[in-house]
Amino acid sequence: MRPSLHARIHGAGPTGALTALALAQAGWRVSLHDPLSPEALQGRERAYAFTHSSRVLLERLGLWGDLRPQLVSFRRLRLQDMATARQVSFDPTDLNNVGAVGWIGSHRPLMALLLRRLGQHPAIGLALGRDAPITSTEPDLLVAADGPDSPTRRALGIGQWSHRYAQACLTVQVEMGGGADDEAWELLRPEGPFAVLPLGEGRFQLVWSAPTARCQQLEALGGPAFLDRLAGALPDALQPEALLARPRSFPVALQLARRLHRGRTVLVGESAHRCHPVGGQGLNLCWRDVAVLHQLAERAAQGRLHPRRLAAAYARRRWPDLLLTLLTTDLLVRIFSNRQPLLLPLRSLAFGVLSRFGWSRALALQVMTQGPCGLGRTLPPWRDGDQQFSPAPALSGHGALPAPSARPE
């Protein structure tokens, strides 16, 4: 081990905080900087979808056991094309019987756990708040995890490719009847995707994509009027009953940095990329960045990788997953957010294949839960309460899932 290796991280949101814990576990000294206070870092009202790639990383970092009681697992995902009225359901049998398709968790308990672990780790120094000093010593690695408008990326002169969708995204939590607490929905509506995510006890997080003007109108509506519009957008089986928080809308964009590193600096999470929220890929894609960085940091600490080569190695390993995930989410939006007559037969055919052939559902679910580069790899077993889940061999059985890793930093 080389205990003198030092990393400085800019940005202490979920991705930056997890990066700090990953590098410290790998044997590095870490300083974590953010202009926001710990209270402000915990203050966001939102929920995340966690896939198995994130679950594996959290297990390796010793966080899963403490976070799992705060999460709601869903064992069925209903995918429905509202224009063709075709529907398909995914469940754990399509993912080698690993017990759950995914999990939903809120921002506050996640950040509370991360901040508590950061404060307890002897190798991590925290500098949170506007008056916190930034260490002046030159680090072996500088990590930019400071969000989509990353000041660190701009200071390095790294540009980005960007596409602003004609849609915005509205998020809100509601009480709803007719929905099961272990079932999530992804509705492919002509105006944009619509995710219905269970939070337990009849509560649901909604992620509603629609034209920007419509989202702004919906955000301005009062409770009863909003619930009426919401009921018209949902399948008949789902009946909204009460608003639990004020609806919030934000613009949706595809962004990708033109470089993932410069010198000893690497871009992690939304400082490097953003994708459309369809499929809940955002946070999980960010955390797969962390997983790769964790692997490389371990090799550097063990003397198997020169620290100066770490940033370039990280960039080479992350490009395939980033490009494929951004391309996949973009294609889903372009193909399904319309009523183009020429596309309707193709969409109906795709749902027919998914409904009829188990291998096609397994393939689609592996892409959603492990990323496009995780195909054919076996998920490690995991525990849910007192029950042990041991997956069967994957489609092509090429060994264990490498340390993989949505939404904003």
> Per-residue pLDDT tens for 3-25?
589 999 999 999 999 999 999 99
pLDDT at 205: 94
Higher-pLDDT residue of 90 and 407 is 90
Query: 362 CB contacts (<8 Å, ≥6 apart)?
Result: 94, 95, 96, 395
Using the structure block, give the residue that is written with the tokens 């990383």.
57
At 101, the pLDDT band (50, 70, 90 cuts) reads very high
DSSP letters along 319-387, please? HHHHHHHHHHHHHHHHHHSS--TTTHHHHHHHHHHHHH-HHHHHHHHHHHHH-GGGTT-BPPPEEETTE
Q: Please give the CATH number for the structural domain made up of 6-71+105-161+253-336.
A: 3.50.50.60
pLDDT at 384: 52
pLDDT at 373: 78
Q: Tens digit of pLDDT for each residue in 198-247? A: 999 999 999 999 999 999 999 999 889 999 999 999 999 999 999 998 99
pLDDT at 130: 80
Q: Tens digit of pLDDT for each residue in 305-360? A: 999 999 999 999 999 999 999 999 999 999 999 999 999 999 999 999 999 999 99
Q: Tens digit of pLDDT for each residue in 375-389? A: 656 555 555 543 433
Q: Would you list the domain boundaries of the chain?
A: 6-71+105-161+253-336
Checking if the pLDDT of 397 tops 70, the result is: no
Higher-pLDDT residue of 132 and 251 is 251
- Tokens for 283, please give them: 């946070």
Checking if the pLDDT of 362 tops 80, the result is: yes
Checking if the pLDDT of 408 tops 50, the result is: no
